[in-house]
Chain A
């Protein structure tokens, strides 16, 4: 037995040696770099997973500490989460919530960027739209949401309007600030090299505003998710808002938290997709 394992290990060493001599010195530097890159990427992933692990552990402990029955441990919420996927509860709720959410997001993103860019570029548009945007940004807009019911009734339109008024000002204001922050020296350069207004916008102003615009988009997307949840909690008892409210009434707190976790996960996923989209659209930033 001992002999057998000894021979096995010796052949293993032999194999390793062969492999090493095969991978020639020419590739050794680049492969080393690759392993370092891969390692740091793996490390990053480990830390991310670890951070979730810590939060969920604390949640689990706090839940088991029996503070309140309204705060179940993470494990119970996880079970409820899986249960709700298979029972179709999520499916039904999201079938209600996703169409207005996606419509609202679309309007928020496209409208916000267009409004922000135009007020950044056109002086009269700035005077016309800015005051409204600032009011929407600073006022407690959620207080306006019940009022939407009087105007649009219990409908998808109310939800979409709620999403748009919570998300769009953030997108528009950040896009506007990005445009305004263009280095005046670059504008002068563009003018002196006889670039047309369109060329200046395309090659100088928009690339320079890109980071602020995408920061605004991320804030706006978060705002849009707040909008849909608020609308469904306050106005129309449908979709995920209803799922949260209903489970609270029947004291199924595990299911209530599972619903909240699901919406957080979707919001997080949407924001990550935005990142990927930004990297895909502006790859040069990554190389630097």
Chain B
């Protein structure tokens, strides 16, 4: 628990999160969750189960009606510098270039333009967008837009990266490429990632911990630890028997929540 390298260190946890809309619509019920540092946690569930709501609660964008979110044991009050968000719909400013979009978080933190551009360019390079920094979002493909969103989240140097179905708006091949690139990137950048997905394969492929939410109202149905070896070739992950077993296992436990 003391050293940063300790694999069991919990960087973020939620305690009894509940979200109720308009007095009667229960979106989330009693969600208690531990997120280990420098690991990937996937939140998986059928559509409408409140997984995005849970992520927004963790991000501090939605105030829960019950329970708390703690980062390193301290209760959060809204968005903070320790968490950065990647959006499902990219949320890029259409009138701003890639460079300006990536630098948005730094600008909001009052970083000077020169430093902002240097840092932004560093991460633009890291996500593989070098040469596109002066393009506008409408000139980019879906995959490139999400890379921009990812670079923006990386520039602010938060320990925790929150991703809301980050690869759902791009086509299948691009999704695979982005998933691989994310794994490679996380070998360089030590980040805790919490990402929401409706894809069992994506969850098993990427995550160290898969949190399965039941249907509405969303509550934790099961937590699975894939323990897949990701040290070696990334291409081989999908061929491991463990990978296929897990996908089946999760599907059978998730099936009953899918109408």
Could you list which residues of chain A lie within 8 angstroms of chain B, going by C-beta atoms?
183, 185-186, 188-196, 199, 203-204, 207-208, 210, 282, 284-285, 287-288
Which of the residues A192, A199, A284 comes within 8 Å of B107, measured between beta carbons? Answer: A199
Q: In the assembled complex, how far is the CB of residue B85 from the closest CB belonging to chain A, in whole angstroms?
A: 4
A191 touches B109 (CB 8 A): no
Closest residue on chain A to residue B78 by CB atoms: A191
B104 touches A203 (CB 8 A): yes
B108 touches A195 (CB 8 A): yes
A191 touches B95 (CB 8 A): no
Q: Is B220 an interface residue (CB 8 A)?
A: no
Given contacts A189-B87, A288-B136, A288-B138, contact A194 B95 (CB under 8 A): no
A194 touches B81 (CB 8 A): yes
Q: In the assembled complex, how far is the CB of residue B193 from the closest CB belonging to chain A, in whole angstroms?
A: 16
Closest residue on chain B to residue A210 by CB atoms: B95
Which of the residues B81, B87, B107 comes within 8 Å of A185, measured between beta carbons? Answer: B87
Contacts of B93 in A (CB 8 A): 186, 203-204, 207
B104 touches A193 (CB 8 A): yes
Instruction: Report Cα–Cα, A202/B186, bound state, in Å.
Output: 34
Contacts of A285 in B (CB 8 A): 95
B59 touches A192 (CB 8 A): yes
Instruction: Report Cα–Cα, A285/B95, bound state, in Å.
Output: 7
Instruction: Report Cα–Cα, A152/B104, bound state, in Å.
Output: 51
B91 touches A185 (CB 8 A): yes
Q: Is B84 an interface residue (CB 8 A)?
A: yes
Instruction: Report Cα–Cα, A284/B108, bound state, in Å.
Output: 21
Q: In the assembled complex, how far is the CB of residue B55 from the closest CB belonging to chain A, in whole angstroms?
A: 11
**A interface footprint on B98-110 (CB within 8 Å = 1, 0 otherwise):** 0000001101110
Q: Is B156 an interface residue (CB 8 A)?
A: yes
A194 touches B91 (CB 8 A): no
Q: In the assembled complex, how far is the CB of residue A282 from the closest CB belonging to chain B, in whole angstroms?
A: 8
Q: In the assembled complex, how far is the CB of residue A181 from the closest CB belonging to chain B, in whole angstroms?
A: 13
Contacts of A288 in B (CB 8 A): 136, 138-139
Closest residue on chain B to residue A199 by CB atoms: B108
Instruction: Report Cα–Cα, A194/B83, bound state, in Å.
Output: 10
Q: Is B67 an interface residue (CB 8 A)?
A: no
Q: Is B181 an interface residue (CB 8 A)?
A: no
Contacts of B84 in A (CB 8 A): 192-193
B79 touches A192 (CB 8 A): yes
Could you list which residues of chain B lie within 8 angstroms of chain A, going by C-beta atoms?
56, 59-61, 79-81, 83-85, 87, 89, 91, 93, 95-96, 104-105, 107-109, 136, 138-139, 152, 156
Contacts of A195 in B (CB 8 A): 104, 107-108
Contacts of A183 in B (CB 8 A): 91
Contacts of A193 in B (CB 8 A): 79, 84-85, 104-105, 108, 152, 156
Contacts of A190 in B (CB 8 A): 104, 108
Instruction: Report Cα–Cα, A285/B136, bound state, in Å.
Output: 10
Closest residue on chain A to residue B134 by CB atoms: A287
6 residue pairs from A and B, CB less than 8 Å apart: A185-B91, A189-B87, A189-B104, A193-B85, A194-B80, A208-B95
Instruction: Report Cα–Cα, A190/B91, bound state, in Å.
Output: 9
Instruction: Report Cα–Cα, A189/B104, bound state, in Å.
Output: 10
Instruction: Report Cα–Cα, A284/B138, bound state, in Å.
Output: 13
B108 touches A196 (CB 8 A): yes
Instruction: Report Cα–Cα, A195/B107, bound state, in Å.
Output: 8
Contacts of B59 in A (CB 8 A): 192
Instruction: Report Cα–Cα, A29/B152, bound state, in Å.
Output: 37
Contacts of B105 in A (CB 8 A): 193-194
B60 touches A203 (CB 8 A): no
Given contacts A185-B89, A191-B79, contact A207 B108 (CB under 8 A): no
Contacts of A192 in B (CB 8 A): 59-61, 79, 83-85
Instruction: Report Cα–Cα, A203/B108, bound state, in Å.
Output: 9
Instruction: Report Cα–Cα, A287/B136, bound state, in Å.
Output: 10
Contacts of B156 in A (CB 8 A): 193
Q: In the assembled complex, how far is the CB of residue A58 from the closest CB belonging to chain B, in whole angstroms?
A: 41
B91 touches A207 (CB 8 A): no
Contacts of B107 in A (CB 8 A): 195, 199, 203
Contacts of B108 in A (CB 8 A): 190, 193-196, 199
Instruction: Report Cα–Cα, A265/B87, bound state, in Å.
Output: 49
Ordered nearest first, which 3 A-B pairs have the shortest CB separation? A195-B108, A189-B91, A193-B105
Closest residue on chain A to residue B56 by CB atoms: A188
Contacts of B79 in A (CB 8 A): 191-194
Closest residue on chain B to residue A285 by CB atoms: B95
Closest residue on chain A to residue B95 by CB atoms: A207
Contacts of B83 in A (CB 8 A): 192
Closest residue on chain B to residue A189 by CB atoms: B91
Instruction: Report Cα–Cα, A208/B91, bound state, in Å.
Output: 13
Beyond A193-B85, A194-B81, A288-B136, list 17 extra A-B contacts (CB 8 Å): A185-B87, A185-B89, A188-B56, A188-B61, A190-B108, A192-B60, A192-B61, A193-B104, A193-B108, A194-B79, A194-B105, A195-B108, A203-B93, A203-B104, A207-B93, A207-B96, A288-B138
